């Protein structure tokens, strides 16, 4: 049997979701508890805790973990963790909550009871410190910074017992896979070296090239889609799923790819988020993470290869998963195929630059999209979506 990489931290997976048979009684108890509403990012983090993706965390961070995470990318007990996972609460509500008290965590939009938390700590954070360290900017135009700066004043720490995973298991049947499930699939396939490909976009030819490079190196590939909230203009998850299905069906060898989705909300923290993506992909059973140009970036806040360089700064043993750092990819008309600066000797005049931003622009302007940019089957799915927008 193949030996999979261990979960992050070296222990077992720690899914915080209560078994289905026990949830009804706990939800009834939770109805009588103080209810704390969660913002969308906090909901997505709770679902990641529920499925075990944030192993070894068992809940939302206390002040020591928060500060160490911000400044040194570790928890208070020294486990590598690059981005704080915290829960905020309005001060007037927090004042009435005692240390040791159990509270009900509810979706701030729907009101659904999602979890019970035992409050171990209440504390205020330095929002600007978090933004400077995690996002490398305090510019409120950055979507991640804006979320942090707008969050309520008090953080509530403590372990959680999750009672729901929201709509994701039903909406994305067969796609919403928990770490224990992907690990079982990798073992069934005989894979021990598995690359994760992170995407919040439909896959164009550059993405396809990166994915195939990863398959050459590893036993198999996990195409891992963001199912949580994105920024305006991004393609909805259900459309992406159809487009990626079309790509896999027509252009990948059967049995080399698993497509899955997970419920995180993007922070757009660039290099730091690339590290977080690596950490929880290890929990899913992956040994490698494909890190391309401007991984998890937004706007011009990060250099194109900052997410490559940050892996080189980590102390030995921070995590077992390794990055697959791949140069900017493009279609070269002289090479007659996809290439990078490491493999193509030709000039810019022979290269077609490919990006998700440019693809969306071409659709919005109703330009003809060449085969060198995106596969015909993918374009058909995306064109139907854009046509539906009117």
List active site positions. 200-201
Round the CA-based radius of gyration of the chain to a whole number and report it.
21
What is the separation of C-alpha 282 from the centre of its chain, rounded to a whole number of angstroms? Answer: 12
Nearest-CA neighbor of 260 among 333, 184, 361, 315? 184
∠6-9-11 over CA atoms, to 5°? 60
Find how far residue 207's CA is from the centre of its chain.
Answer: 17
Contact yes or no for 267/229 (Cβ under 8 A): no
Q: Give the burial class of 177: count Cβ atoms within 10 A of its Cβ; 0-12 exposed, 13-18 middle, 19 or more buried.
A: buried
C-alpha span between 325 and 267 (Å, rounded)? 21
Cβ(122)–Cβ(99) under 8 Å?
A: yes
């Amino acid at each position: 049997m193949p030996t999979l990489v261990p979960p992050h931290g070296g222990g077992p997976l720690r899914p915080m979701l209560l078994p289905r048979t026990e949830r009804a009684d706990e939800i009834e108890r939770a109805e009588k508890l103080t209810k704390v509403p969660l913002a969308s990012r906090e909901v997505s983090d709770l679902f990641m805790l529920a499925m075990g993706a944030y192993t070894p965390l068992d809940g939302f961070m206390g002040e020591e973990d928060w500060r160490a995470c911000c400044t040194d990318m570790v928890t208070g007990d020294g486990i590598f963790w690059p981005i704080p996972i915290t829960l905020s609460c309005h001060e007037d509500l927090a004042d009435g909550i005692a240390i040791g008290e159990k509270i009900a965590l509810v979706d701030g939009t729907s009101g659904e009871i999602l979890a019970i938390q035992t409050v171990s700590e209440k504390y205020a954070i330095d929002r600007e410190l978090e933004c400077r360290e995690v996002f490398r900017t305090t510019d409120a135009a950055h979507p991640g910074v804006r979320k942090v700066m707008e969050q309520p004043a008090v953080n509530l720490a403590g372990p959680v017992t999750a009672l729901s995973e929201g709509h994701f298991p039903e909406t994305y049947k067969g796609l919403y896979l928990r770490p224990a499930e992907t690990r079982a699939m990798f073992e069934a396939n005989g894979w021990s070296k598995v690359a994760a490909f992170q995407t919040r976009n439909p896959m164009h030819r550059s993405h396809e090239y990166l994915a195939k490079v990863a398959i050459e190196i590893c036993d198999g590939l996990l195409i891992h889609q963001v199912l949580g909230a994105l920024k305006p203009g991004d393609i909805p998850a259900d459309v992406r799923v159809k487009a990626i299905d079309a790509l896999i069906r027509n252009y990948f060898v059967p049995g080399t790819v698993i497509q899955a989705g997970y419920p995180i909300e993007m922070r757009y923290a660039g290099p730091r988020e690339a590290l977080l993506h690596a950490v929880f992909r290890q929990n899913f059973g992956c040994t490698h993470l494909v890190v391309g140009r401007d991984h998890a970036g937004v706007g011009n806040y990060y250099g194109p290869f900052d997410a490559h360089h940050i892996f080189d700064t980590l102390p030995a043993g921070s995590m077992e998963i390794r990055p697959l750092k791949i140069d900017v990819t493009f279609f070269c008309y002289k090479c007659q195929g996809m290439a990078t600066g490491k493999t193509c000797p030709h000039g810019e005049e022979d290269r077609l630059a490919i990006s998700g931003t440019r693809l969306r622009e071409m659709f919005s302007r109703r330009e003809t999209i060449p085969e060198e940019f995106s596969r015909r089957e993918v374009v058909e799915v995306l064109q139907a979506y854009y046509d539906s927008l009117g």
